[in-house]
Amino acid sequence: MNLSTLLIWFLRLLSTGLALYELVVGPLVNSVLADVSLPLLSDQVAGTKWFALIFAVTTWASSEKRFWALFFWYWPLVALWACVIAPGNNWWFPSEPLSRAGHQIDGLFYMILIIVAVTFIGTEFALGYALWKSAVRGKDDKVWFSHGSHRLEIVWTIVPAFILVFISMAQLDVVADIRVLNRFPDEVQSGPVAEVMARQFEWRIRYPKPGTELMTTPQPGDLYYVNELHIAATVPTMVNLRTQDVQHSFFVPRMRVKQDAVPGLIIPIWFDAEKAGEYELLCTELCGWGHYKMKARIIAETPQQVSEYLTGLQADQEEDGVADEE
């Protein structure tokens, strides 16, 4: 008995054991014995038992050759299954997109996902099928002696080319909406509401003194805060993104916003929060040892609340420690 045979036998026993445990023994024991609770993989990840069963069957699928062919069919199935159950297990986007650009980005993501999934299934299936065909071929079957096919080459050059160009073209408008300054929404043409200054390892926020415009250099009366940016919900907002030291990146996952803060540049960015609430803000460009510590939030609320907040901030910033007696 050589090692490959040994390997196959090992896999057969292992997978059969797992399948039996997941499908029969585990549930049986758990239901019969009230105070025993065996950990089942199926409880963690739905569908595991069925994959265990399929795998067990695969390993018994006669010869070693067929096993390998099935192996190359099996793993894409597992991969696809992982993707199918991912949203249900919360292994997916942190939330629905909560901004205009977010909807566009997610739309494009799902478009690409469908194209990619079809291609993935097609190519992996074809690969597995090619293996299977060979595994079940008769001893005297002739090998297909071929150096290739012009027609096929042309087909599989032109079709993907069209698809790729199509994907590419579909992006352009969205890129322009997000990034090109003169296509920014009208609401933000009046200027940025705040400056977000990244530094190792926090986000320093500077608002202009209520009633004035934000200047690029600090002005007397500017209001300062850290790690918390208040914006009006539902309307697009523009901020100036800067960094005091190294490169950082402004990432708001729920809004699908990301922009690097580049030393020496002031980069205007716009975003909007569809709903009032808190949005995580974090850094996604390596900025030193404390990179992961740059935890902040954006609070979206009504314009009224924003101005109240700024008034409160202003009062706090003029705090002189003497109780008002007047």
Partner 1 sequence: MATITPAVDSADHAHDHGHDHGHHEQTFIQKYVFSTDHKVIGIQFLITTILMLMVGGALALAVRWQLAFPWESMPIVGKLFGVFAGEGGQISPEFYTMLFTMHASVMIFLVIIPVLAGAFGNFLIPLQIGADDMAFPILNMLSYWFMWPAIACFGYSFVAGGATAGPANGWTSYPVLSDIASASPASGNAQTWWLFGLTLVGVSSMMGSVNYMTTIINMRAPGMTLFRMPLTIWSMFITAILQAFALPVLTAAGFMLVFDRLGLLLPTSIQSVFFVPAGLIVNNSAPTVGGGQPLLWQHLFWFYSHPAVYIMLLPAMGMVSDMLACTCRKPVFGYKPMVYSMAAIAGLGFIVWGHHMFTSGMNPALGMTFMTSTMMIALPSAIKVFNWIGTIWNGDIQFTGVFLNCAAFVALFIVGGLSGIFMAAVPVDIYFHDTYFIVAHFHYVLFGATLFGVFAAIQFWFPKMFGREMNDGVQKIHFVLTFIGMNGTFFPMHLLGIAGMPRRYADPYLHGYLEHLLPMNKLMTMSAILMGFSQFLLLGNFFYSMFYGRKVGRNPWNANGLEWSAPSPPGHGNFDVPPVCYRGPYEYSSPEAEALGQDFILQTDPPRRAATTEPATA
Partner 2 sequence: MNTQIRKSLNRYHMISKKDFATSGSIQQTAWLCLAMLATVGCSDFEASFSISENTRSLAAEAQNGTGESPGVIALTEEKFGNPQSLKAWTKLPVNWGGTSVSVAAVGSDGDAGTSGESAEVETADATETPESGDNKVTLQVPDESISLPNTVSSLLVSSGESAGQSVAVTSWDASTGEAILATKLVLSAGDQCTLDAGKGLQEGRVLYMRHCSHCHGTAGDGNGPTAQYLNPRPRDYRHGVFKFTSTNDMSRASRNDLTRVLRYGIPGTYMPSFLLMEDDELEAIVEYVRFLAMRGEFERKLVVELSSDYSKDAMVSRIEGGETRDEIVEELAEFLELDMPESVDYVGNDLQEIWTAAETEEARVIPTVARVPDTAESRRRGRELYLSKTLNCADCHGIDGAGNGPQTMAFEKNPITNEKYNEPGLHDVWDNLNQPRNLQAGIFRGGRRPIDIFCRVYSGIKGSRMPSFKNTPHEDIWHIVNYVLSLPFESDPGATGSLASSEVAGGAEAGD
Contact between 36 and partner 2 (CB under 8 A)? Answer: no
Minimum distance between the CB of residue 52 and partner 1, rounded to whole angstroms?
Answer: 14
Binding mask 281-300 for partner 2 (x = CB under 8 A): --------xx--xxxxx---
d(CA 14, CA 8): 10
Considering only residues 14 to 43 of the shown chain, the ones binding partner 1 according to CB under 8 A are none
305-311-316-322 Cα dihedral, nearest 10 degrees: -120
46: partner contacted, choices partner 2, partner 1, none (Cβ within 5-8 A by kind): none
Q: Does 127 bind partner 1 (CB under 8 A)?
A: yes
The helix or strand, by DSSP H or E, that contains position 121, with its residue range, turns out to be helix 100-135
DSSP percent split of the chain into helix, strand, coil, nearest 5: 50, 15, 30
Q: Does 217 bind partner 1 (CB under 8 A)?
A: no
Cα separation, 104 vs 111, in Å, equals 11
Residue 86 and residue 183: Cα distance in Å, rounded?
Answer: 36
Under the criterion CB under 8 A, does residue 215 sit at the interface with partner 1?
A: no
The count of C-alpha atoms lying within 13 angstroms of the C-alpha of 43, restricted to the half-sphere facing its C-beta, is 8
Residue 90 CB, nearest approach to partner 2 (Å): 14
Residues within window 197-216 making contact with partner 2, judged by CB under 8 A: 200-202, 204
Q: Pick from partner 1, partner 2, none: which does 182 bind, CB < 5 to 8 A by kind?
A: none
The distance of closest approach from Cβ of residue 265 to partner 2 in the complex, given in angstroms and rounded to an integer, is: 21
Quick one: DSSP state of residue 186? G
Distance CA 161, CA 35 (A): 61
Residue of 46, 116, 226, 276 that binds partner 1 (CB under 8 A): 116
Contact 218, 244 (CB under 8 A): no
Residue 218 touching partner 1 (CB under 8 A): no
322 binds partner 2 (CB under 8 A): yes
Select the residue interacting with partner 2 from 79, 86, 159, 226 (CB under 8 A): 226
Binding of partner 1 by 165 (CB under 8 A) = yes
